[in-house]
Amino acid sequence: VVTKRELQRLKPELERILGSGNVLWDEKKLKEYSRDMADFRGDPVAVVRPGSTEELSRLVRLANRERIPIVPWGAGSSLTGAAISHAGVVVEMSRFDRIIEVDTVNWFVHVQAGVILDRLNRELEKSGFFFPPDPASSFICTVGGVLSEGAGGLRCVRYGTVKDWVLALKVVLPNGDVAIFGEPLPKNRAGYDLVHLFVGSEGTLGIIVEAWLKIQPIPYRRITRMMTHFHSWKPAVQAITRLRSERVQAALLEFMDGNTVKAVNRDFGTSFPVHPATLLIDLEEELVQKSLAIIRSCGAAEVVVAKNEEEAEAMYQARAWSYIAVRSEATGSRAEDVCVPITKLADYLTFVEKVSKRRRLKIVVHGHAGDGNVHPLILFDKNDRESVKRADAAFEDICEYAIRVGGTITGEHGIGSQKVRLLRKQLIAHGGAQPLKIMKAIKRMLDKRGIMNPGKYVEAA
């Protein structure tokens, strides 16, 4: 930790490095950077805004010398407290805002960490390319945040998550040194793979300043989008299982329960049919008939195929905005992020129902069913301590269940400060004593003075 007083002493040096306008500590600014999207809270002492790798490198060197905790900040759209600073300095990355190069022959984009994901995709679209991973926060989240979280999204059922799309990273290490890991090449076997060590490291091993990301031609094939509705989630899950075992690779395979659709209809003025379970599915033309036959044989109550772009887009938006719509129903919410084997999806949803009853909480469910990564959203009254306690207990119930059935406590949101104890439990239960030990040793080795996003994630587990 660092105190305001200690930082006062370093202010001249900080301002020399960053310029006086980029070292901020007025109360309003600090408040703005003191909470993330899921309302995890901290108490940063200052917010700094480096304008170049050189400046950031000098800043980190100073922080290392003075043992000042630093936490990189993209958009604060973390759902796990990963971007929250406790008595440290928030390193705001928005000035790293350049799309350096779109290479349409080698199929990569070279981009700075502060670029917002949707802006990147708008730029790529001009050349007919896209970057597939699409977290729901893509309208605000940054490339650096997405990489540090190893984020996922709706298109991942077909394209994989962020880790599958990174060729190389430029990183400012905890000692202030600058390193490039990987090569902007489709194939590279020179040395151990350190790129993937940094993807999903949640700002605990260094600060990502630039990335070389794979890009993909926008598919030229017409995709059919449909919403298929079921009387309960059991036949819906059966449909998912059958589609997979019959080798249907969907381009999108999302789940919404009735409460989700209701909330979306209410907040966005839409009128999607409300059934206990709805699947949103994208399919290539050739797979549509086969898939419809499977879906109907599983007892679908209603199937609506989008008739045009506009209808298709509305269906997508319904799912994309589910989290925002449902969240607004209560003063507090916790988003689960467990991922279970698809063969356990039915049991998992049964268990969530039980938890909802036992803990007397409304739990609304939607998410990436085709990946087994369905997000129950636990709603509670944040002003009622007893309700908060039950929500926390429900959250842990569901994570513990995931660990028991061979799932993971996090598919795409990460650990942050939220799931530290559960991380330890999962790693030891599934992998033995060594994986966590090795992770901790790597953290200590790279960040000897423990300044990078300390007290969270692997270090705290």
How big is the CA angle at 42 (ends 420 and 170), to the nearest 5 degrees? 70
- Shortest spacing between CB 244 and a second copy, in angstroms: 5
Spatial distance between the Cα atoms of 324 and 234, rounded to a whole number of angstroms: 26
427's tokens: 């790693």
Buried b (16+ CB within 10 A) or exposed e, 337-372: bbbbebebbbebbebbeebbeebebebbbbbbbbbb
92-151 positions binding a second copy, by CB under 8 A:
103-107, 128-129, 149-150
Q: If binding means CB under 8 A, how many residues of this protein chain bind a second copy?
A: 92
Kindly tell me which residue out of 111, 147, 157, 346 binds a second copy, with binding defined by CB under 8 A: 157
Is there binding between residue 200 and a second copy (CB under 8 A)? yes
22-61 positions binding a second copy, by CB under 8 A:
none
CA-nearest of 147, 146, 162 to 198 is: 147
DSSP annotation of 219 reads P
Q: Build a one-symbol-per-residue string for 277-306: x at contacts with a second copy by CB under 8 A, - elsewhere.
A: ---------x--------------------
Kindly tell me which residue out of 164, 267, 392, 400 binds a second copy, with binding defined by CB under 8 A: 164
CA-nearest of 73, 344, 50 to 202 is: 73
Q: Build a one-symbol-per-residue string for 217-246: x at contacts with a second copy by CB under 8 A, - elsewhere.
A: xx-xx-------------------x--xx-
User: Smaller CB distance to a second copy: residue 220 or 271?
Assistant: 220
- β-partners of residue 172 are 178, 207
* 279 touches 228 (CB < 8 A): yes
Q: How far is CA 352 from the centre of its chain?
A: 21
Is there binding between residue 325 and a second copy (CB under 8 A)? no
Segment near a second copy (CB under 8 A); pick from 139-147, 314-322, 350-358, 400-408? 400-408
Helix spans in 269-334 (H): 285-297, 309-320, 322-327
User: Smaller CB distance to a second copy: residue 61 or 244?
Assistant: 244
User: Smaller CB distance to a second copy: residue 310 or 433?
Assistant: 433
DSSP notation for 238-286? HHHHHHHHTT---SEEEEEEHHHHHHHHHHH-------SEEEEEEEEHH
User: Smaller CB distance to a second copy: residue 21 or 191?
Assistant: 191
**Residue 263: what are its φ and ψ, rounded to 5°?**
-65, -40
428-447 positions binding a second copy, by CB under 8 A:
430-436, 438-439, 441-443, 445-446
242-271 positions binding a second copy, by CB under 8 A:
244-245, 247-249
* 248 touches 291 (CB < 8 A): yes
Kindly tell me which residue out of 196, 231, 262, 362 binds a second copy, with binding defined by CB under 8 A: 196
- Shortest spacing between CB 47 and a second copy, in angstroms: 27
Q: Build a one-symbol-per-residue string for 356-395: x at contacts with a second copy by CB under 8 A, - elsewhere.
A: ------------x--xxx----------------------
User: Smaller CB distance to a second copy: residue 99 or 388?
Assistant: 99
Kindly tell me which residue out of 87, 102, 180, 460 binds a second copy, with binding defined by CB under 8 A: 180
